[in-house]
């Protein structure tokens, strides 16, 4: 018994903090994986959610190993002033992930920009009041780095300068939220430093049941919602690597600035190939017609005019584009080794089936 106690004490001494780590938006796709990895590492976690009762009823977080002993859930709303004041008390590290991620919304300012910007400011203001906070790790997005095509390689020095409320509202919301965060730290004498993670499309096994925006691509593909194999390339990263990046950014005292987080890119055609390799071709209505050519690109861009605005902006801004990203900063400074992307995509396919998000065809399409 004494030996076990000694081992626990030894493990906890290796942690960045024995105080609870605050994770905002804890029931989100990325946040839930961060919570899981923090608990697995031995940290105490305080997670915020808009509805604690629902989170407990769902059980996705409370059933995690270590949750009964080291997870506390508290309510906080992004757009309520001072909502995080109590949640941050006693915490030395804050991981702020909470932000809406949808493409098609009724009011971009109300539904995307305001929650992202006001929520970020609210968390930072609360962290500034609670003088124990040493570092805030912010989940931004590659969308805050890239607003479109570029001749060359994307690095952390790049900023999205082309998105707006009228075009690419989600990317605009992430850009504005991150800029506000850096401005807040620059303008105020805060007791903490800021580190930002900029992931590309996040995929992989999910702790929570909801379909995130990246996985929706696969759901739509399986349900025959795409007219064919379109000429789009997606930069992706595994959710497990994104979570680890946040934790390493929290733990490493030398971490600083922004970190592009991506395992690479895959074409839509490759996604279809991987889906067929996994047996989806026998169960779901995968696209077959090749539109990943100059004529097909023109057809898709024209058809995009009849889609909801968010989807329309995404298609027009992505068709025929490729992405080359420099991830040397995160691999060098934080030691992140990204999972094989094809494996991560396969895990995402399996996870969607596990959660029951796919509706098989009544008869095989081939």
For residue range 69-103, what is the model confidence (pLDDT) as tens digits? 999 999 998 888 899 999 999 999 999 998 766 65
Q: Does the residue 12 lie in any domain?
A: no
**DSSP H or E segment with residue 272:** helix 268-277
pLDDT score for 361? 65
Boundaries of domain holding 33: 19-204+237-263+322-338
Question: How many angstroms separate the Cα of 353 from the Cα of each of 99, 269, 322?
Answer: 26, 21, 29
Does position 5 have pLDDT exceeding 60, yes or no?
A: no
Q: 86: domain CATH number?
A: 3.40.50.720
Does 199 fall in a domain?
A: yes
Q: Is the pLDDT of residue 366 over 80?
A: no
Tell me the pTM: 0.91
**H or E stretch covering 198:** strand 193-199
Catalytic site residue from 174, 248, 301, 316 = 174
Q: Is residue 284 part of a domain?
A: no
Residue 280 lies in a domain: no
With respect to residue 229, please indicate whether it lies within any of the assigned structural domains. Answer: no
Tokens of 358: 């796919």
| Total count of domains within the chain | 1
Q: Judge whether 73 lies within some domain.
A: yes
Residue 288 annotated to the active site: no
Task: Report how far residue 242's alpha carbon sits from residue 237's, in angstroms, rounded to the nearest whole number.
Answer: 7
How are strands ordered across the β-sheet holding 93-96? 71-75, 45-49, 21-24, 93-96, 135-139, 193-199, 257-261
**pLDDT over 80 at 363, yes or no:** no
pLDDT in tens, 217-234: 999 999 998 889 999 999
Residue 354 lies in a domain: no
In a domain, 355, yes or no: no
Model confidence over 20-48: pLDDT tens digits? 999 999 999 999 999 999 999 999 999 99
Q: Which pLDDT score is estimated for 2?
A: 38
Residue 316 has pLDDT above 90, yes or no: no
Instruction: Report the share of the chain in percent with pLDDT over 70.
Output: 93
Residue 12 has pLDDT above 50, yes or no: no
State both tokens at 82: 């001072």
Distance CA 356, CA 229 (A): 24
Integer CA distances (angstroms), 246 to 141, 177, 224, in order: 13, 17, 35
């Amino acid at each position: 018994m004494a030996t076990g106690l000694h081992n626990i004490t030894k493990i906890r001494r290796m942690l960045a903090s024995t105080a609870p780590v605050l994770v905002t938006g804890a029931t989100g796709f990325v946040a839930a994986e961060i919570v899981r990895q923090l608990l697995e590492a031995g940290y105490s976690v305080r997670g915020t959610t808009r509805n604690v009762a629902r989170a407990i009823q769902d059980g996705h977080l409370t059933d995690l190993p270590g949750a009964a002993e080291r997870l506390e859930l508290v309510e906080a709303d992004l757009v309520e002033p001072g909502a995080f004041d109590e949640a941050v008390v006693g915490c030395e590290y804050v991981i702020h992930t909470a932000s809406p991620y949808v493409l098609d919304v009724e009011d971009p300012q109300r539904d995307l920009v305001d929650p992202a910007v006001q929520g970020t400011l609210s968390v930072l203001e609360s962290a500034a009041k609670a003088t124990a906070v040493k570092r805030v790790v912010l989940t931004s997005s590659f969308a805050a780095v890239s607003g479109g095509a570029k001749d060359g390689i994307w690095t952390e020095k790049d900023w999205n300068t082309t998105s707006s409320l009228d075009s690419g509202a989600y990317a605009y919301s992430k850009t504005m939220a991150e800029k506000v965060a850096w401005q807040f730290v620059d303008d105020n004498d805060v007791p903490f430093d800021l580190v930002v993670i900029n992931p590309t499309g996040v995929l992989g096994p999910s702790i929570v049941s909801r379909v995130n925006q990246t996985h929706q691509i696969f759901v739509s593909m399986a349900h025959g919602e795409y007219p064919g194999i379109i000429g789009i390339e997606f930069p992706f990263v595994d959710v497990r690597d994104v979570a680890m990046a946040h934790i390493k950014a929290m733990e490493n005292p030398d971490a600083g600035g922004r970190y592009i987080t991506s395992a690479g890119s895959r074409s839509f055609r490759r996604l279809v190939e991987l889906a067929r390799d996994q047996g989806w071709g026998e169960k779901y209505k995968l696209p077959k017609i090749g539109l990943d050519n100059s004529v097909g690109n023109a057809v898709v861009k024209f058809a995009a005019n009849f889609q909801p605005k968010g989807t329309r902006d995404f298609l027009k801004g992505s068709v025929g584009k490729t992405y080359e990203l420099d991830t040397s900063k995160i691999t060098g400074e934080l030691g992140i080794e990204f999972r094989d992307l094809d494996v991560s995509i396969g895990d995402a396919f399996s996870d969607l089936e596990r959660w029951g998000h796919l509706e098989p065809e009544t008869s095989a399409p081939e």
